[in-house]
Amino acid sequence: MREVRFHNTLTGKKEPFLPEDKNKVRIYSCGPTVYNFAHIGNLRAFLFVDLLRRSLRALGFGAEMTMNITDIDDKIIRESISSGQNIQEFTRPWTEAFFQDLETVGIQRLEHYPKATDSVPEMVEIIHLLQKRGLVYEKEGSLYYSISKFSEYGKLSHIDSTGMKTGTRYDTDEYEKDDVRDFVLWKSPKLEGEAFWDTDLGKGRPGWHLECSAMIRKIYGSGIDIHTGGVDLTFPHHENEIAQSEGAYPDEPFVKYWLHSEHLLVNGEKMSKSKGNFFTLRDLLQKGADPKALRFLLLGAHYRSKLNFTFDRLEEANQAVQRLQTCLDRLLTEKETPSFSFRDASPIPTRELWEQMLDSLADDLNVSKFLACVYEAVKSLNQRLDKRALTAPQAEEAVEFFRKADGILGILEFERKPETLDSEIDELVQRRQEARKNKDFALSDQIRDRLNELGIVVEDTKDGLRWRRK
């Protein structure tokens, strides 16, 4: 098995990836907050998880993966109150929309999608353990984590915690970058009609950071191999997860490798709901975009590089997808009705290229190199097809290559589109001639357009009308 290396935010280095059990790599990813449609920046983070899953499988690992659904936080509480619905009613359609979007862009299902509201007892349990270790204090009915008591606070985001303002607190679920303060674990209800749980901690609801610590515990027991999320989650969210989990279970490992995916930008700025500079998947579909093109665009940049979204880039991605599909279609045809006309065919490079593609994935998911190999294969195969220098078994081998590549890319169709039969075209040409004879130009034009769509050129010759495929 080849050595796999991932960039670990904790150490700031690319490290050999050595999971506890290679047949069951334990992965947790921060998922969506379900109060609206996801934007395509969020989708980039979810597609990264899909790339990780598909790559690990191609590299010979098995995985058990989890993505949480945040179905309670400040925004959800505010919006559910104003819509007059309870939390479940309010979040259900957004959760469904999230799963639909994943399917539309070809994201494979994970093993677990736990909801925050289903894990409250596990969150309460963690708070109890933190209280026992003297890491929690109370203020006006809410409970806060005293970060100055956790000596390793800051080790993930590499913030300097020496000048920390101890005792200053944040009540909100999200706060500004690098502003280091105590964070809330349990919030007493503040708003009229706000959802709360009546527990031995008092009436309240969990702070946002706590759910991930609790779900990891609930699903995997002790530590996991990989934790992922967008870079914006490194601080404070993931730093706080470490403080909670390692604070509550100091003798157990928590996360071995932290992988963070970079942002999707618009005009150089992070795409975000609050800035209003976002597109949802549905916005793009309405404009006629192909979800495969979006998938290709978002996957095509390395996960640790920023990517600027433009419609020109989306169109380029669309053309790249078409180019791969056209080559595959030609191979599928060739496999069934070979046009091979040379005695000796030299070998095709797909086997070596596939090995190089696996090496690229093993090197911190280097998709740019992976794609360069795909393009090289397409170029070489197209040349061979043009020269009719590809045997049927080679065409078969090339199709297999595409199948393996698509195990990662997830954009190709392997069902050959049935070609229109020659007899059907003969009939159309015949009907067009009759229409012209009868001066029915509307019908004649209609048939001409249909022939055009089918890629048929009709020529007037001295022997009458002849047709050929473009």
Select from ligand AMP, Zn ion, none the partner in contact with residue 212, using the beta carbon and a kind-dependent cut-off of 5 to 8 Å: Zn ion
How far is Cα 115 from Cα 219, in angstroms, rounded to an integer? Answer: 12
Select from Zn ion, ligand AMP, none the partner in contact with residue 126, using the beta carbon and a kind-dependent cut-off of 5 to 8 Å: none
Residue nearest ligand AMP by beta-carbon distance: 230
Q: Which helix (H) or strand (E) holds 13?
A: strand 13-16
Q: In angstroms, what is the minimal distance from the CB of 71 to ligand AMP?
A: 11
* Nearer Cβ to ligand AMP (53/270): 270
Q: In angstroms, what is the minimal distance from the CB of 144 to ligand AMP?
A: 22
**Based on the number of CB atoms within 10 Å of its own CB, is 457 exposed (0-12), middle (13-18) or buried (19 or more)?**
exposed
Q: In the numeric block, which tokens belong to residue 415?
A: 């069902």
CA-based angle 77:79:82, to the nearest 5? Answer: 110
How far is Cα 408 from Cα 362, in angstroms, rounded to an integer? Answer: 13
Check residue 264 for interaction with ligand AMP (CB under 6 A).
Answer: yes
Single residue of 8, 9, 42, 80 touching ligand AMP by CB under 6 A: 42
Contacts 24+ apart (CB under 8 A), 373-381: 374/324, 374/405, 374/409, 376/349, 377/349, 377/350, 377/353, 377/401, 377/405, 378/323, 378/324, 378/327, 380/348, 380/349, 381/327, 381/331, 381/348, 381/350
Residues in 414-453 that interact with ligand AMP by CB under 6 A? none
Q: Site map for Zn ion, 108-147, x if CB under 5 A?
A: ----------------------------------------
| Contact present, 411 and 292 (Cβ < 8 Å) | yes
Residues in 3-22 that interact with ligand AMP by CB under 6 A? none
Q: In the numeric block, which tokens belong to residue 219?
A: 């699903």
Single residue of 33, 142, 234, 280 touching ligand AMP by CB under 6 A: 33
In this structure, what is the dihedral angle of CA atoms 453, 456, 458, 461, given to the nearest 10 degrees?
Answer: 170
* Nearer Cβ to ligand AMP (230/410): 230
Single residue of 25, 27, 41, 332 touching ligand AMP by CB under 6 A: 41
Single residue of 4, 25, 27, 30 touching Zn ion by CB under 5 A: 30
Q: In angstroms, what is the minimal distance from the CB of 58 to ligand AMP?
A: 23
Helix, strand and coil in the chain, % to nearest 5: 45, 20, 35
Check residue 348 for interaction with Zn ion (CB under 5 A).
Answer: no
How far is Cα 38 from Cα 264, in angstroms, rounded to an integer? Answer: 13
Check residue 79 for interaction with ligand AMP (CB under 6 A).
Answer: no
In this structure, which amino acid lies at residue 20? E
Q: Site map for Zn ion, 160-189, x if CB under 5 A?
A: ------------------------------
Choose the binding region for ligand AMP from 42-50, 386-394, 412-420, 441-449 (rule: CB under 6 A).
42-50
Hunting for tokens 């061979």 — which residue is that?
A: 384
- Residues annotated in the binding site for ATP, as ranges? 273
Residues that bind ligand AMP (CB under 6 A): 30, 32-33, 41-42, 44-45, 229-230, 232-233, 263-264, 270-272
Residues that bind Zn ion (CB under 5 A): 30, 212
- Residues annotated in the binding site for Zn(2+), as ranges? 30, 212, 237, 241
